[in-house]
């Protein structure tokens, strides 16, 4: 099989399989801070999504393509944990290959990222549109602005941005096509109606100060799904960085 179709994975530790899926513009190195701790309790599988990091040569044209690429070398059964855009991908896998998902964990993620007037909180469509336009002109600057946006509001914002930046820069830069596809998915995908059909345990984790996935989303979904979510009080969009220990403790207790 051509190496161009295989994704890069890093595997650590022993125990129940746990897959970590990064978000837009990032790569698997973002999990570096939590892998050491989580790998004491799980066999942790960290993927670079198609077009990102060490998988920057792998192409995809849809969320189904991305999910298929990940499934190709993912363990047969695992806990799937997706951060931000990664949460949409983990949810897609849970919808279409439910037998492979023991538990679904979404972190700072939403079944619909794009805001819908006053009825649904999220990222203003104009912001997503601006990012798409800016990508073509200033590739690296756009990713850096997105990192700043992710950390905004967090008490450890400066530290969070530093960590996100060093993770991204430690691996090859993302492929522009993958970045465009990611923004398109954030702007268009709506999985709200599918959440009720999932049968595996679902854990939804949020940052109270998150400007990209407002905490109101958690409350609306709690009501709709008759479940409860966990809110990290001192975090914005990257609780696994801002509240690293609390995040690891919570995952170990799932």
| Candidate list 55, 60, 69, 84, residue with the active-site label | 84
Pair of tokens at residue 88: 């949409």
Sign of the alpha-carbon dihedral angle for 152, 157, 158, 164: negative
Task: Respond yes or no: is residue 56 known to be catalytic.
Answer: no
Q: Are 236 and 210 in contact (CB under 8 A)?
A: yes
Pair of tokens at residue 141: 């600057």
| Candidate list 22, 45, 92, 237, residue with the active-site label | 237
Backbone dihedral angles phi then psi of residue 116, each to the nearest 5 degrees: -130, 85
Q: Which residues contact 209 (CB under 8 A, 6 or more apart)?
A: 153, 154, 234, 235, 236
Task: Respond yes or no: is residue 210 known to be catalytic.
Answer: yes
Task: Respond yes or no: is residue 84 known to be catalytic.
Answer: yes
Q: Are 56 and 172 in contact (CB under 8 A)?
A: yes
| Candidate list 109, 210, 236, 242, residue with the active-site label | 210
Length of the chain: 254
Regarding beta strands 78-83 and 230-232, do their DSSP bridges make them parallel or antiparallel, or are they unpaired? unpaired
For the annotated catalytic residues, the residue numbers are 84, 210, 237
């Amino acid at each position: 099989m051509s190496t161009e179709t295989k994704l890069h994975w890093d595997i650590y530790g022993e125990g129940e399989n746990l897959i970590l899926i990064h978000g837009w513009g990032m790569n698997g190195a973002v999990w570096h801070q939590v892998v050491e701790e989580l790998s004491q309790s799980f066999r942790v599988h960290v993927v670079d999504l198609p077009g990102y990091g060490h998988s920057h040569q792998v192409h995809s044209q849809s969320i189904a393509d991305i999910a298929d690429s990940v499934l190709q070398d993912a363990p047969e059964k695992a806990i799937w944990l997706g951060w931000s855009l990664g949460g949409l991908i983990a949810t897609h896998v849970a919808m279409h290959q439910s037998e492979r998902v023991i538990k679904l964990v979404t972190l700072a993620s939403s079944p619909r990222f794009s805001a819908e007037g006053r009825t649904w909180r999220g990222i203003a469509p104009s912001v997503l549109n601006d990012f798409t336009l800016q990508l073509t002109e200033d590739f690296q600057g756009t990713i850096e602005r997105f990192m700043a946006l992710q950390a905004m509001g967090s008490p450890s914002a400066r530290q969070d941005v530093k960590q996100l930046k060093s993770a991204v820069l430690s691996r090859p830069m993302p492929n522009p096509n993958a970045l465009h596809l990611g923004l398109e998915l954030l702007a268009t995908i709506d999985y709200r109606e599918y959440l009720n059909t999932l049968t595996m345990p679902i854990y939804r984790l949020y940052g109270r100060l998150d400007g990209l996935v407002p905490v109101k989303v958690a409350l609306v979904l709690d009501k709709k799904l008759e479940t409860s979510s966990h809110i990290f009080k001192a975090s914005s969009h990257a609780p696994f960085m801002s509240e690293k220990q609390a995040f690891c403790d919570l995952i170990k207790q799932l």
